[in-house]
């Protein structure tokens, strides 16, 4: 079967030693909607906030994001297989910017990992993937610091980020967003930060 992603130009490609090849592709809202809908509909993805949405609605949300200059979505592949959904955003253009002092060079990140297939532990899998993502964000995009805002109840995500070198910041309440095209409920979030110096040791 042909690789449906070969025709897309990657914004970042990296061989991670002992892990494999990682490619970061701009999301195609229409083409990727069926895959994303499966991921976000799983119980494990409840904190992503899209449980119960139709495939069409998922496509519409990412098509809208594609029109923004401040928010971007990417499909991350490992050895040609979809491994994660990555979103980046400018903190000052997002509700998280109301909850902490944004510094020059900050960039916000949301990350949804693909389900494990077959089910079970993937030793080193998250670390390998995050190594390539950190290189893309902090080096290729030339940013100084990553901020993440997982739900305070999402203990797995918080532990995963801290294990990868993030430093816990304050727990905050992200305000509700209620616009004609977008409704995002209030969220209690645990902020965490990763600087370029910590990620790359200098």
- Separation CA 147–CA 102 (nearest Å): 10
Whether this model's pTM surpasses 0.75: yes
pLDDT category at 120 given cuts 50, 70, 90 is low
Amino acid 4: pLDDT: 80
- Among candidates 148, 144, 188, 198, which has minimal Cα distance to 168? 148
Give per-residue pLDDT as tens, 127-184. Answer: 899 999 999 999 999 999 999 999 999 999 999 999 999 999 999 999 987 666 666 7
- Can you give the residue ranges of every domain in the chain? 12-200
Amino acid 179: pLDDT: 65
Contact assessment for residue 75 and residue 82, using Cβ atoms and an 8 Å cutoff: yes
Domain 12-200 listed as CATH 3.40.630.30: yes
Report DSSP letters for 118-175, one per residue: SSS--TTHHHHHHHHHHIIIIIIS--SEEEE--BTT-HHHHHHHHHTT-EEEEEEEEP
Residue 26 has pLDDT above 70, yes or no: yes
Amino acid 125: pLDDT: 85
Mean pLDDT of 81-104: 96
Amino acid 121: pLDDT: 55
Amino acid 183: pLDDT: 66
List CB contacts of 77: < 8 A, sequence separation 6 or more: 5, 21, 22, 23, 24, 25, 83
Residue 117 has pLDDT above 70, yes or no: no
Mean pLDDT of 34-38: 96
- Separation CA 198–CA 164 (nearest Å): 10
Helix (H) or strand (E) holding 56: helix 55-65
């Amino acid at each position: 079967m042909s690789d449906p992603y070969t025709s897309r130009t990657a914004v970042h490609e990296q061989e991670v030693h002992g892990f494999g090849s990682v490619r970061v592709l701009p999301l195609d809202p229409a083409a990727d909607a069926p895959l994303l809908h499966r991921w976000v509909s799983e119980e494990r993805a409840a904190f992503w906030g899209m449980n119960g949405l139709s495939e069409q609605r998922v496509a519409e949300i990412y098509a809208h994001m594609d029109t923004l200059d401040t928010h971007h979505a990417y499909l991350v592949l490992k050895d040609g297989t979809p491994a994660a959904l990555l979103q980046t955003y400018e903190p000052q253009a997002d509700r998280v910017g109301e909850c902490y002092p944004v510094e020059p060079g900050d960039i916000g990140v949301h990350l949804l990992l693909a389900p494990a297939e077959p089910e079970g532990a993937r030793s080193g899998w998250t670390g390998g993937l995050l190594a390539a993502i950190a290189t893309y964000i902090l080096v290729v995009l030339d940013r100084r610091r990553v901020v993440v805002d997982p739900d305070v109840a999402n203990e797995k995500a918080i532990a995963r980020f801290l294990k990868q070198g993030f430093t816990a910041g304050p727990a905050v309440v992200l305000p509700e967003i209620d616009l004609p095209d977008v409704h995002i409920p209030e969220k209690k979030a645990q902020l965490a930060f990763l600087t370029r110096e910590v990620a790359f040791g200098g």
